């Protein structure tokens, strides 16, 4: 993985095997060098990087994903499920949002991008190291595992029968839920949406055509967080 923030988070969680660094990057980030960094040239850094302006620091780490059963162990309350998400930047951002919202896990189902993709790692800004990430090629199996874990499955769907802002929906949002988000071009597959417990739409009050994936994920996950907090308040 590349970049100071990603390397810093990797080191905090004990997953780093080796650090590669240029002299310039070492000057900027002396705290990230570790006991025996491997020194590389700027040219080598450019060849390793997939960005226009390499940061000059890289780390070789253990793989991050865990078994689905492990990710969903311990009575999870909030899980984000990405189905068929092809853009690594979006996948990484959903992981970041899920981490910020206090989610218990992220599940990448079906033909979703590899979370170890460099762009996904950078977009997560280190959040890949903060919560369990599971991959399951069989989408139906992933959603069944969520149900077995006691989670209500909610599909974010522009045409869903439930309105996210309807007060009556708060009871559903406040319970243990797995929010399901689809790919950028076509959203959640129809078979997946039909099989979920509920389909929830984020109302568009202005003239925007739609919300992008990461924004919709943030709105939905934080709606569940807000509903849980309201439910937990003592009666006044």
Mean pLDDT, each 10-residue run in order, the chain (236 residues) = 88 87 96 91 92 90 93 97 95 97 98 93 91 96 97 95 95 97 88 96 92 95 96 66
Counted domains in the chain: 2
Residue 200: beta bridge partners? 156, 162
Residue 236: predicted pLDDT? 46
Whether residue 76 sits in one domain with residue 50? no
Q: In the listed set 40, 61, 82, which residue is the last one of a domain according to the structure?
A: 61
Residue 76 DSSP one-character state: -
Q: Is 13 helix (H, G, I), strand (E, B) or coil?
A: coil
Indicate if 162 and 188 belong to the same structural domain. Answer: yes
pLDDT at 234: 59
Lookup result for tokens 């989610």: 103
**Other Cβ atoms closer than 10 A to 70:** 12
Residue 14: which domain range? 4-61
What does each C-alpha distance from 64 to 58, 93, 135 come to in angstroms? 16, 16, 10
Answer yes or no: do 30 and 72 share one domain: no
pLDDT on residue 187: 87
What are φ and ψ of residue 19, in 5° steps?
A: -115, 130
pLDDT at 156: 95
Domain boundary residue among 12, 38, 61? 61
């Amino acid at each position: 993985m590349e970049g100071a923030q990603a390397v810093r988070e990797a080191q905090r969680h004990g997953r780093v095997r080796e650090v590669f660094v240029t002299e310039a990057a070492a000057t900027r980030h002396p705290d990230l060098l570790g006991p025996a960094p491997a020194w590389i040239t700027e040219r080598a850094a450019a060849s390793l990087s997939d960005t226009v302006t390499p940061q000059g620091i890289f780390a070789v780490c253990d793989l991050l994903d865990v078994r689905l059963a492990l990710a969903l162990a311990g009575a999870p309350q909030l899980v984000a499920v990405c189905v068929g998400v092809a853009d690594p930047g979006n996948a990484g951002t959903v992981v970041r949002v899920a981490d910020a919202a206090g989610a218990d896990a992220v599940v990448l189902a079906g033909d979703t991008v590899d979370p170890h993709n460099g762009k996904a790692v950078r977009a997560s800004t280190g959040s890949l190291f903060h919560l369990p990430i599971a991959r399951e090629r069989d989408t139906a199996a992933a959603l069944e595992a969520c149900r077995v874990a006691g989670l209500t499955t909610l599909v974010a769907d522009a045409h869903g029968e439930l309105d996210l802002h309807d007060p009556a929906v708060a009871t559903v949002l406040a319970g243990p839920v797995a929010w399901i988000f689809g790919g950028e071009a076509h959203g959640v597959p129809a078979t997946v949406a039909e099989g979920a417990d509920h389909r929830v739409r984020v109302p568009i009050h202005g003239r925007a055509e739609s919300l992008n994936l990461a924004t919709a994920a943030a709105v939905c996950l934080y709606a569940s967080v807000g509903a849980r907090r309201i439910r937990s308040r003592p009666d006044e």
